[in-house]
Amino acid sequence: MQEILESLAAGDLSVEAAHARLRGYTTSSAGRFDAARAARTGVPEAILADGKEPKEIGELAALAVETTGRALVTRVDESGVAAVRAALEDRGAIDDAGTEIAHDERARSLVAHGPDFDVPELDAAVGIVTAGTADAGPAGEAAVVVREIGASVERVDDVGVAGLARTLDALPDLRATDVLVVAAGREGALPTVIAGLVDVPVVALPVSAGYGFGGDGEAALMGALQSCTPLVTVNVDAGFVAGAHAGAVARALDAARRE
């Protein structure tokens, strides 16, 4: 509390931000925003755009920037992106110094950083792996989350088991990381194969790429759950959760390396 009050007195913290940190969350007509999540867990609060009106998305994103210096929006479309820009402009958050906005259309993610916000820097590398190009969306969402947690991201794309030579050729890069998120649709075999070839934690990210029976990600999910090699499995297309888990591992490694 003392640090928050000193920052407020020095003008380094707005009244809204100080109130949010003391209370742990802040409230608007669009809902509540967990302003203390990053400090509490190391994972930034995400605004899920699905199910929200564009105006609500924009209001929550502006509130996030005001109280934490950053907004992370997932599953966002062009109307949501426009609403975020408009809300930040209305509140004067975008100017010459301004808030930086990065929109990844494939990952359906948006990140906004206030002018004084610095992303943490962790001494850890997370590999984001895709079996094929169709897996790029959820994998990209995971990568956005990992970067916002502070780890570096190493992408290894299109190395699915349909051409196993591609997987084997990528082994040096896979083994050089600290933790891996492996995204695969169809039968979802790639996470299991990779987990049997590396000595780092593997997070299986099943993807709803495929067709016919089990083609909505069920086959990939079941394959990961039945893996005979040790790995952690998240839900279908759950890129945020996969990235958050990998980021938590990266934070633990960074803390150990700093001791």
Domain ranges across the chain: 2-113, 125-258
- What integer best gives the mean pLDDT of the chain? 89
Q: How confident is the model at residue 99 (pLDDT cuts 50, 70, 90)?
A: confident
Long-range contacts formed by 78-83: CB under 8 A, 24+ apart: 79/54, 80/49, 80/52, 80/54, 80/110, 81/110, 82/54, 83/54, 83/55, 83/57, 83/58
Mean pLDDT of 31-36: 78
The least confident of 8-17, 91-100, 133-142 is 8-17
Pairing of strands 47-48, 70-74: parallel
Chain centroid to CA 155: 14
User: Is a pLDDT exceeding 50 seen at residue 8?
Assistant: no
Q: What percent of the chain has pLDDT over 70?
A: 86
Q: What integer pLDDT is reported at residue 94 of this predicted model?
A: 55
Q: What integer pLDDT is reported at residue 35 of this predicted model?
A: 78
Q: What integer pLDDT is reported at residue 97 of this predicted model?
A: 53
107-131: pLDDT as tens digits: 999 999 988 888 999 999 999 999 9
**How far is Cα 113 from Cα 65, in angstroms, rounded to an integer?**
7
CATH code for the structural domain at 125-258: 3.40.50.1970
149-163: pLDDT as tens digits: 999 999 999 999 999
DSSP codes, 43-112: S---EE-TTS-HHHHHHHHHHHHHHHSEEEEES--HHHHHHHHHHHHHTT--SSS--EEEEETTTTEEEE
The least confident of 68-72, 95-99, 163-167, 188-192 is 95-99
User: Is a pLDDT exceeding 70 seen at residue 182?
Assistant: yes
219-235: pLDDT as tens digits: 999 999 999 999 999 99
Burial of 188 (0-12, 13-18, 19+ CB in 10 A): buried
Q: Would the CA dihedral through 17, 111, 190, 213 be positive or negative?
A: positive
Predicted TM-score of the model (pTM): 0.87
Q: How confident is the model at residue 34 (pLDDT cuts 50, 70, 90)?
A: confident
